[in-house]
Amino acid sequence: MSNNLFHTQALSKYGDKRGSLVVAEFGIGCPFPIHRVYWLFGTVAGVSRGFHAHVKTRQLAVCVSGACSLLMDDGHNRKTVRLDSPEKALLIEPMVWHEMHDFTPDSVLLVMADAPYEESDYIRDYDRFVQLMGKK
């Protein structure tokens, strides 16, 4: 898996003197049909989230307010990506371990997924993830 998946992509921004609007829809900023949307907010200072990978689910993450960092790990490469603008999105492919850290007090992390929640799609043990990815 190429670590270019660990880079943010620009979302379409529109605006005028009244303010701005950012769009993420299937084919425009989001490469998949959206079946679930959730957001994280009010995260306690110093607390990290995530610590899992998905077997099949694809996600697009946008920090619509504030900022946070995502540690991305495909079993061979690790990179931390900072989401600090509502115009930046991070595509999280299946079988990529991800952790969310360093939330600002005003952060709201919005996540769009291509599938509804299904517990069996989660890998929550890092050692098992590494084993599945064939890392030595």
- Catalytic positions, written as ranges: 52
Identity of the residue numbered 82: R
Q: Where are the beta strands (DSSP E) in the chain?
A: 8-10, 12-16, 19-23, 25-26, 29-30, 36-41, 49-54, 59-65, 68-73, 78-83, 88-92, 97-101, 108-113, 122-123
* CA separation for the pair 62, 46 (Å, rounded): 20
